[in-house]
Structures are given as C-alpha cells and as structure tokens.
C-alpha cells in the first residue's frame, strides 16, 4: 500500500499552520520598517525591498526546483531547515538583535535608518 497520502496530509497541515507565523512576521517587518525609516524615504526603501523580492522570487523558484530535481526534495528541505536554524542561532548570538525594542519603538538610536544628504 502506498503511504504517500499520509505524508501529503501532514505536509499540507504543517504548510497551513505556517501561515499565521508568516503573517505576523510580515506585519512586524512592515511596522518596524515604517518606524525605523524616515517618512520622506519610506516609499523609496519600500520600493527597493519589494523590487528585490520580486526579482529574487523566480530565481529562488528556479534554484529550488533544480536543486530538488538534482538531489531530491528531502536534502533540499533539510538544507533549508538547517539554514534557518543557523540564521536563528546567528540572530540570537548578536547582542544588538537580541535587545531590539518592540516594532512600535523603533526609529531611535541604533535602530534608525538615515541617509546623509549630499
């Protein structure tokens, strides 16, 4: 008997369970950006971020699909999971990132983005 149906259901359930965390992260990121970036530069910074993401998405899809084709899905997902684990460990090892204030309190001190006028 084929057991792939059980794995598919578990995968779909975990995929659906990840959406609230992704939504909360997106809200916190946009809030932090709006607080940390000066108002007159907000549109420019947001446009750059959206453009970079839009350009990277098809490249990431191509790289992920090709990697899964060459090495299989399990090694690719394992590698991505380990990458996220490394990123989390790095984040927690950096004092300035560990002590970040809440998103609504950004925009002062070390947590401000500014550009010098020429």
2 vs 71 pLDDT, higher one:
71
Kindly tell me if the per-residue pLDDT of 16 is higher than 80.
yes
How large is the angle between the packed helices 73-93 and 42-71, nearest 10 degrees?
140
- Provide the pLDDT confidence category of residue 36 given band limits of 50, 70 and 90: confident
pLDDT at residue 115, as a whole number: 66
109 vs 70 pLDDT, higher one:
70
The length of the chain, given as a count of residues:
118
Measured CA to CA in angstroms, residue 116 lies from 23, 38, 41 at distances of 33, 12, 12
Taking the C-alpha atoms of residue 12 and residue 17, their distance in angstroms, rounded to an integer, is 9
Residue 71, both tokens: 């090495």
Residue 62, both tokens: 């191509």
Residue 37, both tokens: 């970036």
Kindly tell me if the per-residue pLDDT of 64 is higher than 60.
yes
Per the CB < 8 A criterion, the answer to whether 44 and 115 are in contact is no
- On average, the pLDDT of the chain sits at 84
pLDDT at residue 1, as a whole number: 45
Kindly tell me if the per-residue pLDDT of 65 is higher than 80.
yes
The domains of the chain are located at 35-71, 73-102
How large is the angle between the packed helices 42-71 and 4-36, nearest 10 degrees?
160
Kindly tell me if the per-residue pLDDT of 3 is higher than 60.
no
């Amino acid at each position: 008997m084929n057991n792939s149906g059980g794995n598919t259901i578990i995968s779909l359930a975990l995929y659906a369970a990840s959406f609230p965390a992704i939504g909360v992260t997106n809200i916190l990121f946009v809030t932090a950006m709006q607080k940390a970036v000066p108002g007159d530069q907000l549109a420019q910074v947001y446009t750059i971020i959206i453009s970079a993401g839009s350009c990277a998405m098809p490249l990431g899809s191509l790289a992920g699909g090709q990697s899964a084709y060459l090495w299989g899905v399990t090694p690719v997902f394992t590698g991505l999971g380990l990458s996220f684990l490394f990123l989390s460990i790095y984040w927690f090892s950096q004092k300035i990132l560990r002590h970040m204030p809440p998103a609504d309190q950004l925009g002062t001190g070390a947590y401000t983005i500014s550009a010098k006028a020429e």
